[in-house]
Structure 1
Amino acid sequence: MPSADAQEPKTASHFKELVSFRLNMLASHWSRLAAESNQRDFELDPREWRILGMLGANAPMSLQGLAREVNIDKSLASRAVSLMIDRGLLQRGADQSDGRGVQLSLTAKGKQLYRKVFPKAVKRNEELLSVLSSQEREVFDRALDLLTAHAHETLARERAKAAKPKRKPGAVIAAD
C-alpha cells in the first residue's frame, strides 16, 4: 500500500492540462521573447538564430544535417542560409568526404555575431530557470531528456507502423 505522502499522478482532465500544450505554451512565450530581442538587437529572425547558433557550436555542417538539427524544413533552411550568405554571415565550403557535397560554416562576421548573441541567449536561459532551485533544475533537465527520448522513440514507432502495408478486411494472402 502506498504511503500517505505518495500521490497518484494527475491525469489531464482538459486540453490545457496536456503536457504537450503546456510545453508548447512555455516554448512559445520564451521563443517570442528571444525572437523579439534577437530581431531588435541583431536583426536575426528565429530561423536565422537557430542556424547561427547551431553552426556556432557545430560547424561545418551540411544543409540537410543543419535543417534536421534545428528542426526546420530543408527548403526553408535553404532560403535562410542563402540570405545569411548574402549578409556575409555564412559561407559554403567543399565537403572533404563527398566531392559533390557542401558544408556550411560561419564567416568571421558570423562568428563575431554569434559571440554577441549567444551570451544573451544564455542570460535568457538562466532567467527562465531562475525560478527553480538547483535540485528542481536537475530534475527538470533529466525529465526533459527522458521525455524527449521517449517522444523520439514513440514517433519512430508510429511512423514504422504507418509505413506497413495495410490489408483490407477479408483479403486473402497468397501462399508461395
Structure 2
Amino acid sequence: MASTNEPGAEASLTYRLKALTKIADRMSSEMSRDKLGVPYPEASIIAAIGTFGPQTVMDISRRANLDKSQASRTVEAMLSKEILARTGNDKDGRSVIISLTAEGRKIFKKIGPALDKRDSDLYHGLNEAERVALRFLLDKILASHGWDATP
C-alpha cells in the first residue's frame, strides 16, 4: 500500500500542465467572447495568422493549437464571415494560403492587449524573475521536443 506522503499523479508535470491549460482555456474563452466578440477557436486562428502571417490550414492548426479538422471547420466558417481570405499556394498546389481580411485585422489589433491581460492574470503570484524563469524553462522543454514557439 502506498504511503500518503508519496507523490501521486497530481505531482506529475503532465497533470500540472493540463490543470494550467484548463485554467488558461477558460480564461481565453471568456476573453474571446467578452472582449473580442468571437469564439475562442476563431481568436486563436486570428492570433496565429496575425502573428505568423498568411499560412496553410495545417500551419494554422499547429500554431493555434487546434486539431486539423477543428481548424479546417473554423477557417471555413471564418471565410464565410469574411474574417479570413483564401488564395492559391504557389509553393504547393494542393493547399491554399489563409490570410486576414480588413475585418480580421481589426480583431487582431484587439487580441494583443487581451492576451497580455490574460497572461498577466495567469502569472499572478509570480514576481518578474519567476515569470522569466518559467518562460525560459517552458521554451527549453518545448524546444527539446522540436516545438518552435517563435514567430
Q: Sort the TM-score into its range (normalised by shorter chain).
A: 0.7 to 0.9
How many corresponding residue pairs?
142
- Partner Cα separation in structure 1 for residue 122 and residue 65 of structure 2: 22
1:45 aligns with 2:39: yes
TM-score with structure 2 length normalisation? 0.84
* 2:119 partner letter: N
Runs of 4+ in 1 over 6 A off after TM superposition: none
- Partner Cα separation in structure 2 for residue 134 and residue 40 of structure 1: 28
Note closer, same or farther for the CA distance 1:130–1:13 as it changes in structure 2 (3 Å cut).
closer
* 2:140 partner letter: L
- Partner Cα separation in structure 2 for residue 86 and residue 144 of structure 1: 37
* 2:33 partner letter: Q
Who is 1:126 aligned against?
120
Who is 2:68 aligned against?
74
* 1:17 partner letter: A
CA RMSD across the alignment: 2.0
Q: What's the offset of the Cα at 1:112?
A: 0.3
Identity value in percent: 30
Query: Any conservation in 1 of the 2:83–2:100 contact (CA below 8 Å)?
Result: yes
Structure 1, gaps ≥5 residues long: 1-11, 154-176
Who is 2:22 aligned against?
28
Q: What's the offset of the Cα at 1:129?
A: 2.0
- Partner Cα separation in structure 1 for residue 139 and residue 123 of structure 2: 16
Pairing of 1:1-176 with structure 2 (within 5 A):
13-150=7-144, 152=145
Higher relative contact order (CA 8 A, sep 6+): 2
Cα deviation code 1:2-53 (max 9, x no counterpart): xxxxxxxxxx711111111111111211220120221133332221111110
Who is 2:3 aligned against?
none
Q: What's the offset of the Cα at 1:100?
A: 4.3
Cα deviation code 1:78-104 (max 9, x no counterpart): 110011111111000122323443100
- Partner Cα separation in structure 1 for residue 64 and residue 27 of structure 2: 18
Q: What's the offset of the Cα at 1:146?
A: 1.9
